[in-house]
Homo-oligomer: A and B are copies of this chain.
Amino acid sequence: MLSALGGIDRLVFVPFAVFDRVAYGQAAVGRFEQVGVRLEVATADEAGRRMIEDALAVFVGGGNTFRLLERLRDSGLLERLRRRALDGMVYMGASAGSNIAAPTIRTTNDMPIVEPGSFDALGLVPFQINPHYIDPEPASSHMGETREQRLKEFLEENDTPVVAIREGAWIRIDGNSAVLGGRAGARIFRRDREPEERVPGASLSDLLE
């Protein structure tokens, strides 16, 4: 992840996906300090909006995607994040922070604990992201849907491709180039097609077209 910063040694951290933003922000500041990166923690006010305007790089942390999207929209940060990221600011997101980089949050795994007004998100990439992807376990007796079944349900109603990344995988996008990093690989789900496996190191640039 740090290599994506290309020498930038300070980040604006967005903790809005978690209820206790102050504690989450403080914990993140400590962790990033250890690797020589200084964090400023964004707040849901004019100071936070200015931080985003001036940021070279932003990291949006995980938690609940519905809460994150609602707070970003209500505080006026969502549109600013989008504009600045499309302008070249480095955008990094984990879990909920990766979900909102997609056109909508319709492929989040999170519980809809708050109503975000709209599911429309940043749309920094033209595909949906499903983080924490878990493969079906044939032996499971649980009657809930598998993740694969859920993503197929998404494709019954939508025709946007989904990149489902397993724990420990990440996507790095630079202009027209997208690469799958980490160690666990990803699965691509498209309407009317069998899911397709991509191994660590594989290009995902075809999905940017």
Contact = CB atoms under 8 A, between A and B. Distances in A.
A203 interface: no
Nearest to A108: B112
Contacts of A108: 111-112
For the complex, would chain A's binding face be called helix, strand, loop or mixed by DSSP majority? Answer: loop
Interface string A148-183: 001101101110000000010000000000000000
A107 to B, nearest CB: 7
A151 B110 CA distance: 11
A64 interface: yes
Contacts of A143: 132, 167
Given A106-B112, A112-B106, A156 B19 contact: yes
A157 B118 contact: no
B115 A119 contact: yes
A109 interface: yes
Contacts of A118: 115
Interface in A86-140: 105-115, 118-119, 132, 134
A111 B111 contact: no
5 contacts: A106-B114, A107-B111, A112-B119, A113-B154, A114-B158
B157 A19 contact: yes
Closest 7 CB pairs of A and B: A19-B156, A111-B150, A113-B154, A132-B144, A113-B157, A115-B119, A114-B157
A147 to B, nearest CB: 9
A142 interface: yes
Given A108-B111, A115-B119, 10 more contacts: A64-B153, A110-B145, A111-B154, A112-B112, A114-B157, A115-B118, A132-B143, A132-B144, A134-B142, A142-B167
A114 to B, nearest CB: 5
A16 B105 CA distance: 22
A180 to B, nearest CB: 18
A137 to B, nearest CB: 11
B109 A111 contact: yes
